[in-house]
Amino acid sequence: MSDVPSSDSTTPDSDPIGSDETQLEEAGANPHSNRIAANSEYTSKDLQHLSDLEHVRERPGMYIGDTTGRGLHHLVYEVVDNSIDEAMAEFASAVTVTVHTDGSVTVEDDGRGIPVTRHDQLSEEMDREVTTLEGVMTVLKFGGKFQKGAYQTSGGLHGVGVTVVNFLSQWCEVEVSRDGWTWTQQYERGIPQGAVTKGRATKKKGTKTTFKADSEIFSTTKYSYDVLYKRLQELAFLNSGVRIRFLDERNGESGDFKYERGIIEFVEHLNRASDVLHSDVIHIEGERDGVEFEIALQYNTDYTETVQSYVNNIHTIEGGTHVSGFRSALTRTLNNYGRKEGLFKATTPSGDDFREGLTAVISTRVPHPQFEGQTKTKLGNNDVEGIVNGGVGEQLTKFMEENPKAAKAIVRKGLLAAEAREAARKAKDMLRKRKDVLGGGGLPGKLRDCISKKMEECEIYLVEGDSAGGSAEGGRMRNYQAILPLRGKIINAYKSREDKVLANEEVKSMIQAFGTGIGADQDLSKRRYNKIIVMTDADVDGSHIRTLLLCFFYRQMFQLVAGGHVYVAKPPLFRVSKGKERYYVQTEEEMKSQLLERGLADSTFEAEDGRRIEGEEMRKMCHTLAGIEDAIIAMERRGISLKAHALRLDPQTNRLPPLHLFVGVDDHWFHGVEQVDEYLNANNLVLDSEKEKPEPGEEPEAIDLTAEQEATGPSVNLIELHEVRTINTALKDLQQLGISIDDLIPQERTGSTAPRFELLRGEDTRRPLQDLRELLPQVRAAGEKGLAVTRFKGLGEMNAEELRETTLDPANRTLVQVNLSDAGAADEMFRLLMGDKVEPRREFIERHALDVKNLDV
């Protein structure tokens, strides 16, 4: 499950935005139609043609889903998928992914390398020389996925992946190694900065792509280590024998994945926090009509089903025909075995019963997959269902005949599930008899219900304890907000059977209050509240209760989560007061942004030489400076000061050199790869990375270092400062405002007492600045003037009035919507946190201990 911030700024009784007739009339609309009037003269001037680049940057959501963190990570997946396609075609064996300190990403493989020769079709269409590499990077619907000879199966279907990544990047560079040479091309916001350049001689093969997501497009450009780690490990499981290395230079964390047994090890990994019923993972594979399928499954003692399905490495989180074929075969085969062995007496298990405690990974390779929807989350090929069904049925029957002990344990697991299902049915019947939704009968006595009977506007807060319930009771909007206090911690719904869960008093209270029923019988049309909001303290107990509640919703009220009706109250981090007015801010980043915007009001930048920057240009300058704050700090952490590096600026291009070459104890700086190659060739030098190394796991032979250096020459290493490329792009933007790199650096001044720069606020306030890097802190400080900023720790510190103002009042509050974007990931997380085994949970805690901030214990 994932959390999505929910915008919530109006009460249910407020008028809809745009209903003011005066505003509509001023906009040229009919106030009674509520529609903006179109231009009565419809001519060719009203139609606009966008280039591929313009369309992608104008409508990025059409290509990568959205421009939030999800879309940001999708950029990495698109480039990695190209490398994995090379591995699937057996042309590559290793992929390396590196997140650099400035937030740029490098993806490198040892495949064939993108062709760099002239492409006749594109050259004729564009009436100029166009290489295949440039076509791949700058032309949509152009790639190797459309020709059967290039790839038999692939994850990328539309031929737009890496092109879109380039178009949505602040800068991008591709280096191809093939035919004994390196070839490079650089781009800025999708536009080539020169032709493809031939570089140094090399024995390597493959493609290396480095890009920096554009902050003009994405709301965040910070990658999550855990999200990338999980996806890369997943790809290594699905492609046995392929080594995937992952390094995050921001924190030094890394991963090195290579699984010779593939999805068998995937299932073992998923079951690492559970007790298994049979030691060996059942492995099934086959091929028919060009469709390959591979399935691994193992039963455990848990009560949930975990099935992860993939088509050509694409995670089909909504399943599809390959999943339905597997489930049909599983139910049929286990039923046949149970009847044959006389294991069924009074009860015959259903398909759901046989899937209790099942962990399975389904991986298929389909030459021409048909997905339902652009998101590629559900396979629609009808022929795949029959192929998987037949293959699984045949091979699973053989396994059960050869392994009777494991087979009987699996069937008995289904029988126990069927008995528990019958017990749960009786418990649900008892609950139904105790409630009357329309009349309110059977509602828990501790429920402080709301007055309104309109379900669409009603919401219920789940709070911990009677004391918190009292504060919430005092602060709520009684008309449409209900409060349900929960005493203590509810039962762990992951470790307990359904009938045990239904016997818990707190669970009974929630089921009676919600009115939807539970499990497969859940009926959302009968719900009494449109929003169910979990509101717990920020301390350890509160976090535990929140996790138990989310686990309960995931296991027993799945449809409420899938329907988007479950929320978590997120109190603000800051309260900002100015006189009698006050408002709330959620995050540190938002606070800094607001102070900057507030400080920019009525601000002017003035230089000693008379230059003035104000208004929209001032705002653009400050936002550009904010975009390189972290990049400059990262460069200086390497021991390279901006002042010293500025001496290496190319006056013609206004760029700093990003390439640092070390030759023995000497070092050299270069602006482009072609200059590095020219230097290496002229001095007969070879990079250490190009020299032959022993294979991973092999022990190098003992050598005489002195003799080796004489034979191979000095050590030669090339370091690329990716943060410098980010700075260079900003310098280009600043140059349009008349700002140079010298303005960012303090200068020694003699004979002048006048300040070099000044920040002017209104007519009276002048603040001297030694350099432009001092501007942002001064603007933010000016923005904070007159404000009282208070930082909160959590709900436990707030009284009824503060609770109402921050967390209950829809005009101020922020709710985090809980959605089910990846059921497999949700199940794995609950299994780690809520399962019986301690060791995996301890490893999780140790791994993430340093990430915890503001923990209230």
- Which residue among the candidates 102, 108, 265, 464 is catalytic per the annotation? 464
Separation between Cα atoms, residue 821 and residue 62, nearest integer Å:
18
Cβ atoms 178, 64 nearer than 8 A: no
Compute the CA torsion angle 353, 354, 355, 359 (nearest 10 deg): 140
Tokens of 166: 């380039």
Q: Given the DSSP bridges, would you call strands 459-464 and 481-486 parallel, antiparallel or unpaired?
A: parallel
Q: Which helix (H) or strand (E) covers residue 528, if one does? A: none
Residue spans per domain, the chain: 55-257, 263-414, 435-571+796-820, 591-658+721-744+755-784
Amino acid at 762: G
Phi and psi, residue 314, nearest 5°:
-85, 125
The rounded radius of gyration (Å) of the Cα atoms in the chain is: 31
Q: How confident is the model over 474-497, as pLDDT tens digits?
A: 889 999 999 998 887 788 877 777
Separation between Cα atoms, residue 128 and residue 139, nearest integer Å:
14
pLDDT the model gives residue 468: 63
User: What one-character DSSP code corresponds to residue 50?
Assistant: P
Nearest to 565 by CA among 599, 523, 598, 611: 523
Decide if 541 is catalytic.
yes
Look up the CATH architecture of domain 591-658+721-744+755-784.
Answer: 2-Layer Sandwich (3.30)
The CATH topology of domain 263-414 is Ribosomal Protein S5; domain 2 (3.30.230)
- Which residue among the candidates 537, 677, 802, 828 is catalytic per the annotation? 537
- Residue in the structure block whose two tokens are 């929003």: 531
Cβ atoms 688, 716 nearer than 8 A: yes
* 3-state secondary structure labels for all residues of 788-812: EEEECCCHHHCCHHHHHHHHHCCCC
Q: pTM above 0.75?
A: no
Separation between Cα atoms, residue 8 and residue 812, nearest integer Å:
8
pLDDT the model gives residue 27: 32
Tokens of 69: 């963190």
Decide if 539 is catalytic.
yes
The residues facing 567 across adjacent strands are 533, 817
Those residues whose C-beta lies under 8 Å from the C-beta of residue 117, and which sit 6 or more positions away, are 131, 132
Tokens of 455: 């379900």
In the chain (857 residues long), the average pLDDT of successive 10-residue segments reads 45 32 31 45 70 89 87 93 88 94 92 92 88 91 55 48 93 94 93 91 92 90 91 94 93 90 94 89 94 95 88 89 96 94 86 92 92 73 95 95 94 89 72 48 79 93 74 88 86 77 86 84 88 82 82 85 89 82 80 88 86 89 87 87 91 91 92 88 86 53 47 80 88 89 84 80 82 90 87 68 85 83 63 65 59 49
pLDDT the model gives residue 494: 72
Cβ atoms 63, 164 nearer than 8 A: yes
- DSSP annotation string for 288-307: ETTEEEEEEEEEBSSS--EE
Separation between Cα atoms, residue 802 and residue 854, nearest integer Å:
20
Dihedral of CA 191/195/198/200: which sign?
negative
Separation between Cα atoms, residue 575 and residue 677, nearest integer Å:
56
- Which residue among the candidates 8, 249, 305, 539 is catalytic per the annotation? 539
- Residue in the structure block whose two tokens are 């993939």: 310
Separation between Cα atoms, residue 327 and residue 329, nearest integer Å:
5
Count other C-beta atoms under 10 Å from residue 411's C-beta. Answer: 20
Decide if 827 is catalytic.
no
Helix intervals (H) in 713-803:
722-735, 775-784, 800-803
Look up the CATH architecture of domain 435-571+796-820.
Answer: 3-Layer(aba) Sandwich (3.40)
* 3-state secondary structure labels for all residues of 161-227: HHHHHHHCEEEEEEEEEECCEEEEEEEECCEECCCCEEEEECCCCEEEEEEEECCCCCCCCCCCHHH
pLDDT the model gives residue 751: 63
Domain 55-257: assigned CATH number: 3.30.565.10
Q: How confident is the model over 78-113, as pLDDT tens digits?
A: 999 999 988 888 899 999 999 998 889 999 999 999
Phi and psi, residue 699, nearest 5°:
-85, 120
Tokens of 475: 């602060």
Cβ atoms 634, 102 nearer than 8 A: yes
- Which residue among the candidates 318, 541, 617, 733 is catalytic per the annotation? 541
